[in-house]
Structure 1
């Protein structure tokens, strides 16, 4: 005789639900013991690997026979001038330091040199201008007017160091823009080959040095900062701040996002390399399009007179011979 046939249907459903609830409760309680969470262990492995890479990079940089020092001491004369005229506050300004870094000058010595030269240059240019006007030009004007002219020329010396630095920044950024797409291609190849970002940066710096010393220098500094700084985000941000190039800043943003969220870096680098290559091509097209207007004035001044002379001279000789 089947006993289950005498059990009402609601009681059967209640028994099944009670059994399922008991099984689920047992499973939830025993889950942490049956399936261990490996995320903390993996994070500890990643942190230990990062510390090992940092230690290796420190040992490699310290083992170099001729390490490059970025903390060269300023000249004593320039340092005395800065201290004498109380220009130390200007030397601590972040804007001036960042501007000199973008020009390739790092450390405290270039800042002191810049401030001292900006103070000395007007005096030197004034003296040279005065001597040139008095000894070479010898104008028939009052001496006060000569002094005013020399002072006006000497005042330009205050802006001469800043103009030189801006020119240096422009040339440096231009060189970085030209070689940056190739550097991204090399970085993409090394990352997809399985290298860590520190090893990839070091390899790219070695390979790109023959083409662009500026890019190799910046990537080498970033590799050193990744080894020494605790916050890797700061090392990436320093790379974008030192160069001041939009393409480099975009790549820095992608590296920071990949570091923070764990997103794949290869696809982002591939897109960034193509965008930088397209930007370089568009700049070349702009220069080619601007070439015809620039050639108009030289053609009028140099080509047309010669052409007229070639055409008119034989006719003029014939007319002179007939007469």
Structure 2
């Protein structure tokens, strides 16, 4: 009972929230000092995807429609827990939560494979239930207050409904960060690819070389290019590999370049000329984005200038006169 009384006190909850906030601030600033290298994990995932595509192509060439991956010692990184898989299968969550764009959204965030899809569907179910239970326990048991029971339950249900959007919000956040990294490095990637093609390399070797060079700037883009290299090597239709790259990134700039490559491959036009035109458009787009950010900077600085700079400036200017007026020996003194 002492613990429950302590948890119900407002001062204790304020202290806990302040500690959590301080820990979040320390983690936010400290995480930027820690260099996280995920290249090994990304390379491993690309290798597993390449093995999967090789198995699919071998099965297709042998006249089998199913993909046989078991027995090859392949364990994909997106493997999920068995209880999640059982819940998803028994409750048929794919029919309830999965649509035509779910797999593409997960791929845009860098989550590929059945394991990531199962985990996402399980989180869509478990997150609102967990948020509802935590809120209900806090409002009904720890801090009931003077509110009636139906009002506390309404708050808990509302929190559960808000919690149902949490997996989608986190997925959208991951997608935005990944797309920003890819979009920032994409113009440099086009320039490098143009150099490789004009040097006489094939598209497979160009993608492979650029994926190694661009990895320091954008590991996400390097991963996508390496996966495209594997698809170009194993898929029968090259246009399908190009289209998959545009679909996985979800960026208009990447889709336009892939469309140009598909047309060049289909009609036999110069790939180097197509890449040159798209690289020039990419540089122009980057310059336009920089000019747009520079033009939007003065309005953004107006509010901080009024709130923080002008009051300090007024204090510095007016303080000497105020000290002379109200100080010893002044007019007011």
Report how far residue 124 of structure 1 moved.
1.5
Is 1:279 aligned to 2:269, yes or no? no
When residues 300 and 134 of structure 1 are mapped into structure 2, their CA distance, relative to the original with a 3 A threshold, is farther
**In structure 2, how many angstroms separate the alpha carbons of the residues matched to 1:290 and 1:180?**
23
Is 1:263 aligned to 2:269, yes or no? yes
2:100 maps to what in 1?
94
**In structure 1, how many angstroms separate the alpha carbons of the residues matched to 2:266 and 2:97?**
35
Report how far residue 129 of structure 1 moved.
2.6
When residues 284 and 297 of structure 1 are mapped into structure 2, their CA distance, relative to the original with a 3 A threshold, is same
**In structure 2, how many angstroms separate the alpha carbons of the residues matched to 1:237 and 1:318?**
75
Q: Say which one has the larger Rg.
A: 1
Which runs of no fewer than 5 residues in structure 2 stay unpaired? Answer: 1-49, 56-72
Residues 132-168 of structure 1: CA deviation (Å, up to 9, x unaligned): 4457765332232122112212211111111111121
Residues 99-141 of structure 1: CA deviation (Å, up to 9, x unaligned): 1101111011111111111111112222233344457765332
1:73 maps to what in 2?
79
1:63-212, aligned counterparts within 5 Å? Answer: 70=76, 72-89=78-95, 93-133=99-139, 139-212=145-218
| Greater helix proportion | 1
Which runs of no fewer than 5 residues in structure 1 stay unpaired? Answer: 1-53, 60-66
**In structure 1, how many angstroms separate the alpha carbons of the residues matched to 2:129 and 2:192?**
50
**In structure 1, how many angstroms separate the alpha carbons of the residues matched to 2:310 and 2:188?**
44
Partner residue of 2:324 out of 304, 309, 318 = 318
**In structure 2, how many angstroms separate the alpha carbons of the residues matched to 1:252 and 1:91?**
31
Aligned length: 261
- RMSD (CA atoms): 2.5
**In structure 2, how many angstroms separate the alpha carbons of the residues matched to 1:137 and 1:311?**
51
Partner residue of 1:232 out of 228, 231, 238 = 238
Report how far residue 83 of structure 1 moved.
1.8
Residues 163-217 of structure 1: CA deviation (Å, up to 9, x unaligned): 1111211221111111111111111111111111111111111111111111111
Report how far residue 316 of structure 1 moved.
3.5
When residues 90 and 210 of structure 1 are mapped into structure 2, their CA distance, relative to the original with a 3 A threshold, is farther
2:253 maps to what in 1?
247
Give the structure-2-normalised TM-score: 0.72
**In structure 2, how many angstroms separate the alpha carbons of the residues matched to 1:309 and 1:275?**
50
Give the structure-1-normalised TM-score: 0.74
**In structure 2, how many angstroms separate the alpha carbons of the residues matched to 1:107 and 1:251?**
26
